[in-house]
């Protein structure tokens, strides 16, 4: 018999031109279920008008990013046990810093446009990827292999970033991490955008992006590395190289 | 609907709930920065009393011996030490140095600021 907990989901609700409110739903759950499972149960058995995004249920699509008790989580891989105790109230809210379309669904268009602006790669040659224990020397034929980029484009980093909360034009952690992935010595054409007012220098080193990233992109570290790349590129440019 | 980034949401910078040590460093850096800026203005106003003659300045100096002002001075000392050390942390990480150790560097900055403030407190109140 699986363990059973009673938890209350306090879910943010907002439809177009209506004021926001919180609805509460008390459920019997297995604590090893995921937050997304509980939200789906609310939709299935309590309120069919609840809007939320989900697709793959295994942290590949990045659709189910939400705030759970104020912290950004990919709800398909966040167990109830990891964020709650028996009889707990779980507050579920949409991601911050994106326009709300309905309830827990936000408009991610701005993030996707910024990812396109830096020409973020969905796949990259394995020889250019940051992987655990890479070989000392890649073979020529290895360059034919590609791997998926780590970034799910889930938007958790944008929601957690304090600078993104107050500056809409700021590129933000995921697009800057995608630019770092290119390397400015291979893509000097990105320098103007990265070195702009809303680029890499706008980050204020809170490292919240790294803390909430569900996919080990580590955007904070990549942004710092991108600063190094930017300085190197500008020095090279200064000496006409 | 109102969930977009906006300069008016500045106060959200100072909300530490659910956030991580990197954000605590960010918040503390802003609070100490604002505090030190205010202190600079107060300092200039006090120096301005010199222009009103020695009596006016002496009168203010007598006021600085009150425990409340001394406590304020201690806060300034703590803020200066923390803000300076955290500035070094930000410079180092911006050059890619110690990025994976940024949390430990934050804790070290706070610890050194507390130790420094305690030493000054001892000298001011018991020395």
- Look over chain A and give the mean of its residue pLDDT values, rounded to a whole number: 94
Same domain, A24 and A67: yes
Contacts of B6 in chain A (CB under 8 A): 166, 168
Over residues A19-25, mean pLDDT: 96
Considering only the beta carbons, identify the residue of B3, B9, B17 that sits closest to A166: B9
CB contact under 8 A, B10 and A166: yes
Higher pLDDT pick, B61 / A201: A201
Determine, yes or no, domain membership for B44.
yes
Same domain, A115 and A101: no
Determine, yes or no, domain membership for A233.
yes
Same domain, A113 and A200: yes
CB contact under 8 A, B20 and A162: no
In angstroms, rounded to a whole number, what is the distance separating the alpha carbons of residues A229 and B46? 46
Which are the contacts of B7, defined by CB distance < 8 A and separation ≥ 6? A166, A167
Whether residue B99 lies within 8 A of chain A, CB to CB, comes out as yes
Whether residue B54 lies within 8 A of chain A, CB to CB, comes out as no
Count of the separate structural domains present in chain A:
2
Same domain, A162 and A222: yes
Q: Do residues A88 and A29 lie in contact, with contact meaning Cβ atoms separated by under 8 Å? A: no
Minimum CA–CA partner of A70 in chain B: B18
pLDDT tens track for A146-169: 888 899 999 999 999 999 999 999
Q: Residue B127: pLDDT band by 50, 70, 90 thresholds? A: low
- The pLDDT score that the predictor gives to residue B50 is 82
Range of the domain at A68: 5-106
CB contact under 8 A, A14 and B23: no
Is residue A106 classed as helix, strand or coil in its secondary structure? strand
Token pair in block for residue A163: 């600078």
CB contact under 8 A, B18 and A71: yes
Count of the separate structural domains present in chain B:
1
ipTM of the complex: 0.84
DSSP string, A42-62: HHHHT-TT-----S-SSSSS-
Determine, yes or no, domain membership for B64.
yes
In angstroms, rounded to a whole number, what is the distance separating the alpha carbons of residues A8 and A2? 19
CB contact under 8 A, A228 and B25: no
Minimum CA–CA partner of B16 in chain A: A70
In angstroms, rounded to a whole number, what is the distance separating the alpha carbons of residues B86 and B92? 10
- The pLDDT score that the predictor gives to residue A5 is 96
Range of the domain at B119: 22-125
Determine, yes or no, domain membership for A52.
yes
Q: Exposure string (b/e) for A189-215, b if CB count within 10 Å is 16 or more?
A: ebbebbbeebbbebbbbbbbbbbbbbb
CB contact under 8 A, B19 and A208: yes
In angstroms, rounded to a whole number, what is the distance separating the alpha carbons of residues A60 and A54? 11
| CATH number of the domain within which A73 lies | 3.10.20.30
């Amino acid at each position: 018999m699986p363990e059973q907990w009673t938890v209350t989901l306090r879910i943010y609700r907002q439809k177009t031109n209506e004021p926001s409110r919180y609805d509460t739903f008390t459920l019997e759950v297995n604590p090893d279920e995921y937050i997304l499972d509980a939200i789906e149960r609310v939709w299935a058995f309590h309120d069919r008008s609840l809007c939320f995004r989900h697709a793959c249920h295994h942290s590949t699509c990045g659709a189910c990013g939400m705030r759970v008790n104020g912290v950004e989580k990919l709800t398909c891989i966040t167990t109830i046990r990891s964020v709650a105790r028996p009889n707990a109230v779980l507050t579920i809210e949409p991601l911050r810093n994106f326009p709300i379309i309905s309830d827990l669904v936000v408009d991610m268009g701005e993030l996707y446009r910024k990812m396109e602006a830096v020409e973020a790669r969905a796949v990259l040659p394995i020889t250019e990827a940051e992987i655990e224990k890479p070989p000392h020397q890649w073979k020529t034929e290895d360059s034919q292999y590609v791997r998926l980029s780590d970034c799910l484009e889930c938007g958790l980093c944008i929601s957690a970033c304090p600078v993104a909360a107050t500056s809409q034009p700021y590129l933000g952690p995921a697009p800057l991490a995608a630019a770092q992935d290119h390397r400015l010595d291979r893509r000097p054409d990105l320098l103007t955008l990265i070195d702009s007012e809303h680029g890499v220098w706008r980050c204020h080193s809170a490292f919240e992006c790294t803390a909430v990233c569900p996919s080990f992109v580590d955007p904070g570290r990549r942004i710092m590395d991108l600063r190094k790349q930017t300085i190197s590129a500008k020095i090279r440019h200064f000496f006409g190289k | 609907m109102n969930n977009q980034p906006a300069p008016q949401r500045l106060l959200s910078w100072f909300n530490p709930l659910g956030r991580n040590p990197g954000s605590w460093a960010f918040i503390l850096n802003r609070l100490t920065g604002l505090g030190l800026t205010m202190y600079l203005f107060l300092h200039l106003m006090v120096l301005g009393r010199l222009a009103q003659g020695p009596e006016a300045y002496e009168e203010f100096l007598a006021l600085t011996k009150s425990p409340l002002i001394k406590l304020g001075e201690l806060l300034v000392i703590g803020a200066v030490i923390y803000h300076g050390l955290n500035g070094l942390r930000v410079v180092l990480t911006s050059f890619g140095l110690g990025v994976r150790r940024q949390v430990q560097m934050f804790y070290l900055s706070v610890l050194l600021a507390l130790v420094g403030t305690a030493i000054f407190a001892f000298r001011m109140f018991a020395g």
